[in-house]
């Protein structure tokens, strides 16, 4: 095996703020509300648009119709079945939540922004309480050092706050 030397390695330290929101609702009730507000991406429609090489405007329209609160679920992983084997009974679902139309506005400036888009969300039980956890988008994307990427992170904070207000939690981001 031939090892190719790296021509450049950059190490960038950055700090993120994790939001841990205790929700005043039973786990399954909040999960249902969340999944109604943030529906799964309509993969058949999106794939069809890609296959027909649709315009970006068509993609934007499809995403707007699919994401009534700006976000869609790209993946959901129910971790409990894996952890129950180790004796853990608490519920835990991890989501990849995002919007590729919004993500594109970061991608054009720094493709590495897709390391964090879609956003990772954890919904879990902790001592009988329901917890919604997410790294605050503005703090995640500020770490790229690009004002255009950081501005989209601030927009995602506003969209996250609007979603959480819709879910009855209230604004959650730190300003």
Specify the CATH number of the domain 18-166.
3.30.310.70
Domain ranges of the chain: 18-166
Cα 30 from chain centre: 17
Going residue by residue through the chain, which has 175 residues, state the pLDDT in tens, using 9 for 90 and above. 777 777 888 888 889 999 999 999 999 999 999 999 999 999 999 999 999 999 999 999 999 999 999 999 999 999 999 999 999 999 999 999 999 999 999 999 999 999 999 999 999 999 999 999 999 999 999 999 999 999 999 999 999 999 999 999 999 998 6
Contacts of 126 (CB under 8 A, 6+ apart): 22, 90
Q: Could you tell me the pTM of the whole model?
A: 0.93
Residues in a beta bridge with 125: 130
Q: How far apart are CA 74 and CA 47, in angstroms?
A: 13
| Pairing mode of beta strands 72-78, 92-98 | antiparallel
């Amino acid at each position: 095996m031939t090892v190719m030397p790296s021509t450049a390695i950059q190490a960038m330290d950055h700090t993120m703020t994790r939001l841990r929101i205790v929700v005043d609702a039973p786990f399954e009730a909040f999960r249902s509300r969340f999944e109604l507000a943030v529906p799964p991406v309509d993969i058949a429609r999106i794939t069809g648009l890609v296959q027909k090489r649709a315009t970006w405007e068509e993609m934007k329209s499809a995403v707007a119709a699919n994401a009534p609160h700006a976000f869609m679920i790209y993946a959901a992983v129910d971790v409990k079945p894996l952890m129950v084997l180790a004796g853990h009974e608490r519920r835990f679902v991890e989501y990849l939540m995002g919007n590729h139309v919004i993500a594109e506005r970061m991608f054009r400036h720094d493709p590495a922004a897709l390391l964090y888009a879609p956003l990772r969300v954890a919904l879990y039980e902790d001592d009988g309480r329901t917890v919604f956890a997410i790294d605050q988008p503005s703090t995640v994307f500020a770490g790229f050092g690009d004002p255009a990427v950081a501005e989209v992170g601030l927009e995602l904070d506003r969209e996250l706050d609007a979603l959480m207000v819709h879910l009855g939690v209230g604004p959650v981001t730190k300003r």
